[in-house]
Chains A and B, each alone.
Chain A
Amino acid sequence: MKILSLALLFTYIILSSSCSLANDKIGQIHTMKGDVTIIRGTTVLPANIGTPLQKGDLVRTGKPGAAGIVLTDDSTFSMGSNSELALKEYAFNPKEGKFSLVARMVKGTFAYLSGLIGKLSPDSIQLSIPDATIAIRGTKLLVEVQK
């Protein structure tokens, strides 16, 4: 009986981990208040705490609105009201040494804290704001973009 339940458990683990690879979750909404939406292609999705994010998502906050995002490499983006963050590219595959984080802070206020990609492969990170790019060496930034 115990062996059977362990076998089931293991199957479940393998299934659940392969599923998490299939739907390309790159992170999630970790904290939020007020109006937060996710624009995925032509769809506008409501955000909740725990809502998964995918490569290509645009996260938008209204006023009042604020959100804290944690990506799977443990990096975080926090955004204030009337802000937009585009998560353009993302790869975090330490075993094969594949890393990429391309994000654009389109407008609003942000705090960015680098995660494992920042430690293992800082050159794979490309942050941008309108008119400028930011290269980082393991760090935290505050960014304001007025439109």
Chain B
Amino acid sequence: MRTRLYLLSAIILLFCLLTGCAANRTVVLVPDPDGHTGKAEVATTAGKCLLEKPDDITHISDSSSPPEPVSTATKEYISATFSEVLAIEPLPSEKFILFFETGSLKLTEDSQKTISVILDAINRRSALTVTISGHADASGSTLINDRIAFERAGMVQGMLLQKGVDPKRMTLTSHGKANPAVPTPDGVAEPRNRRVEVVIR
């Protein structure tokens, strides 16, 4: 009788360990769409833990206990709990980069061809958002860089508008010389930074 009771409690304990029934909040680190896995630090008032490998998982029961030690999430847990979420996930965005002739609003020859590739992608995906961001290089003043980056983005927006892309779906931003593709010291002309990035979703 007694052994049976022990057995029962052992089974319950094992069940709890496997399903995490004591902990009711769960965080799992998974790879990005491009296969890279980042890091995440989960913290309560009592402590923290670092998730750094694919499928690292931790549970939190309450704010006064530290997160449980990291273990590995099972495929079964992930598919049972998150299949609905993963099915509704928006498609990953697609990014296109357009380059300009030095100091001008004229696209390079290659980039003129990219415009039609962008249009195809917008139609194929029925894209809801088209984000157009203008970038300048680090030569010239901040004011001029901001303006030229914005004008370049506006140029691209105008071209897409003329081809029938819904203006309500387009957003325009200027990064000026911030966030260069190739970092350079101030004052350096760098053609690869004179660009407009178009991200569609």
Chain B residues, CB < 8 A from A31? 88-90
Closest to B126 in A: A49
The answer to whether residues A78 and B85 also contact, given A139-B39, A140-B31 and a CB cut-off of 8 A, is yes
Identity of the chain B residue whose Cβ is nearest the Cβ of A18 in the assembled complex: B172
The one of A16, A17, A80 that contacts B88, using a Cβ cutoff of 8 Å = A80
A13: B residues at CB distance < 8 A: 154, 157-158, 161, 167, 172
Nearest residue (CB) in B for A131 is B63
Chain B residues whose C-beta falls within 8 Å of the C-beta of A20 in the assembled complex = 171-172
Q: Check if A12 sits within 8 Å of B167, measured CB to CB.
A: yes
A80 touching B167 by the CB < 8 A rule? no
Question: Does A91 count as interface, using CB distance less than 8 angstroms?
Answer: no
Query: Which of B25, B93, B201 is close to A144, meaning CB atoms less than 8 Å apart?
Result: B25
Q: Which residues of B contact A144 (CB under 8 A)?
A: 25-26, 81-82
- Interface positions, chain B 120-161, Cβ under 8 Å from A, are 128-129, 131, 133, 146, 154, 157-158, 161
Contact A94 B40 (CB under 8 A): no
List A9-42 residues whose CB lies under 8 Å from chain B.
9-10, 12-14, 16-17, 20, 28, 30-33
On chain B, the residues within 8 Å of A30 by CB distance are 90, 128-129, 201
Which of chain A's residues have a CB closer than 8 A to the CB of B178? 94-95, 97
Contacts A94-B175, A132-B43: A76 and B88 contacting too (C-beta < 8 A)?
Answer: no
Known: A94-B133, A139-B37. A131 touches B44 (CB 8 A): yes
Contact with A along B98-136 (1 / 0, CB 8 A): 000000000000000000000000000000110101000
Tell me whether A95 and B176 are in contact in the complex, defined as CB-CB below 8 angstroms, given that A9-B158, A12-B167, A78-B88 are known contacts. yes
B131 to A142, Cβ gap below 8 A? no
Q: For the complex, give the distance between the alpha carbons of A126 and B44 in Å.
A: 13
Report the separation of the CA atoms of residues A74 and B78 in the bound assembly, to the nearest whole angstrom. 24
Bound-complex Cα distance A137 to B26 (A): 18
Chain B contact residues (Cβ within 8 angstroms of A): what range?
35 or more
| Chain A residue contacts of B73, Cβ below 8 A | 142
Assess whether A80 is in contact with B85, with CB atoms less than 8 Å apart.
yes
Contacts of B168 in A (CB 8 A): 16
Whether A100 sits at the interface, judged by CB under 8 Å, is no
Q: Which residues of A contact B32 (CB under 8 A)?
A: 113, 138-140
Asked whether any CB of chain B lies closer than 8 Å to the CB of A145, the reply is yes
Q: List chain A residues, Cβ under 8 A from B81.
A: 109, 142, 144
- 12 new A-B contacts, CB < 8 A, other than A20-B172, A131-B25, A145-B24, are A13-B158, A72-B171, A120-B179, A132-B67, A134-B40, A136-B39, A136-B41, A139-B38, A140-B29, A140-B32, A142-B73, A146-B25
